[in-house]
Amino acid sequence: MADKHLSNYSMSPYLGADIDPTLPHHRAQSMDQIFLPAQNQYPVWYFFYGTLTDPEILARKLSLPGLPVLRRAMVKGGRIIMWGGKYNALIDGPSSSIVDGGWAYEVRSEEEEEQLRYYETDQYEVVRCEIHIVDSGDIVKGLTFRFIDN
């Protein structure tokens, strides 16, 4: 299962090679500061860039009664590589890099998220990111699966 350990005290872990989430300006400045999304926050937006962008695959993995509503999206600070010669894998990139052609989905529950984490396996980890929703122009604080590049 993909690892998920979101810090309460910093923005860590976060997508992007140029961002050190442990630096003071990325850490909590007061005891009541909350970093979003929180570890157990639902619903929560996820950015997908590979097989999970297929509504039929996503519906099957989540046991949904119908097709999910996906929104065209992009994230900054990452880049896509090929893993195993056939799988897209998101890794850290410079803050200027943009991964477009992805989709956002609002995960409704811990159970849905757990199914996705099992699907992605321990080769990935859940990290925070800003998701840019293309059709509305909205930017939401969300999560994505980052490949653990050995």
Domains in the chain with CATH codes? 1-149 (3.10.490.10)
Cα(91)–Cα(99) distance, integer angstroms: 10
Lowest-pLDDT choice from 19-28, 33-42, 68-77, 124-133: 19-28
Q: What would the mean pLDDT of 78-92 be, rounded to a whole number? A: 93
Residue type at 104 in one-letter notation: A
Q: What is the reported pLDDT for 30? A: 77
- For the cut 80, the answer to whether the pLDDT of residue 130 exceeds it is yes
pTM, 2 dp: 0.94
pLDDT interval class at 23 (50, 70, 90): confident
Residue type at 144 in one-letter notation: T
CA angle 57, 40, 9 (to 5 degrees): 125
Q: For 69, which DSSP code?
A: -
Q: What is the reported pLDDT for 150? A: 60
Cα(97)–Cα(129) distance, integer angstroms: 13
